[in-house]
């Protein structure tokens, strides 16, 4: 007698799925250390969606840059149906000039009212320091980070709510997240992680 095996689904998957089901407002960012399941999580969610998905990775030997990102984005535009499409770019921080390209393409879609919902994946320190705080400051970003390998998620609201954690103000000031998903682990308390997130990422 055969048994049906249900693939393991991380708790963050449901949250990401709900974000992608909402009207287009946010750039979805999944960031953290390598080999913690970011790509699998996003693939699980996007494969279950009812819109075309364009998945591309900058984690390859050939040089990736703004033109390559634009090509992936345009492919998603061409594949889009009435419900839009989802371009997914993995290891985005390895593409030269990625943040400027993402900002330009996102703003183009906003002006043209194209319903593309974007998911970016990448290594956390570079992603936060070099991209979000430089070119995407002021854009509304849903930010999913992993401080360790634990799978317990907490949800932190924007920097103005009474339920916010100490240290979130510095992150919120950079790119105004409205919903920030944090995964703590390896003995790191959420409050401690928020007070000095980059240090924890670097020491992983």
Q: In what order do the strands lie in the sheet with 179-183?
A: 53-57, 86-90, 119-122, 27-32, 141-146, 179-183, 153-157
71-125 pLDDT per residue, tens: 999 999 999 998 899 999 998 888 888 888 998 999 999 999 999 999 988 875 4
Residues 6+ apart with CB under 8 A from 55: 43, 46, 88, 90
What DSSP string describes 31-47?
A: EESTTSSHHHHHHHHHH
pTM: 0.67
Domains of the chain: 11-202 (3.40.50.300)
SS3 162: coil
SS3 103: helix
144-185 pLDDT per residue, tens: 554 444 333 333 333 333 334 444 454 445 444 444 444 433
């Amino acid at each position: 007698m055969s048994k049906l095996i249900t693939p393991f689904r991380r708790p963050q998957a449901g949250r990401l799925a709900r974000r992608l089901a909402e009207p287009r407002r946010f750039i979805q960012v999944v960031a953290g250390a390598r080999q913690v399941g970011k790509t699998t999580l996003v693939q699980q969610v996007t494969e279950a969606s009812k819109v075309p998905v364009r998945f591309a990775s900058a984690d390859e030997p050939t040089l990736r840059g703004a033109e390559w990102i634009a090509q992936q984005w345009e492919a998603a535009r061409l594949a889009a149906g009435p419900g839009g499409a989802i371009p997914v770019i993995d290891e985005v921080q390895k593409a030269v000039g990625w943040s400027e390209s993402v900002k330009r393409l996102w703003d183009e879609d906003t002006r043209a009212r194209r319903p593309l919902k974007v998911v970016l994946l990448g290594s956390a320190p570079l992603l936060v320091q070099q991209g979000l705080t430089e070119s995407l400051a002021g854009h509304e970003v849903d930010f999913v980070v992993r401080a360790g390998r634990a799978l317990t998620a907490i949800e932190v609201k924007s920097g103005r709510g009474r339920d916010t954690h100490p240290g979130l103000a510095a992150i919120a000031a950079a790119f105004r997240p409205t919903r920030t998903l944090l995964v703590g682990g390896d003995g790191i308390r959420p409050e401690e992680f928020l007070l000095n997130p980059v240090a924890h990422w670097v020491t992983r």
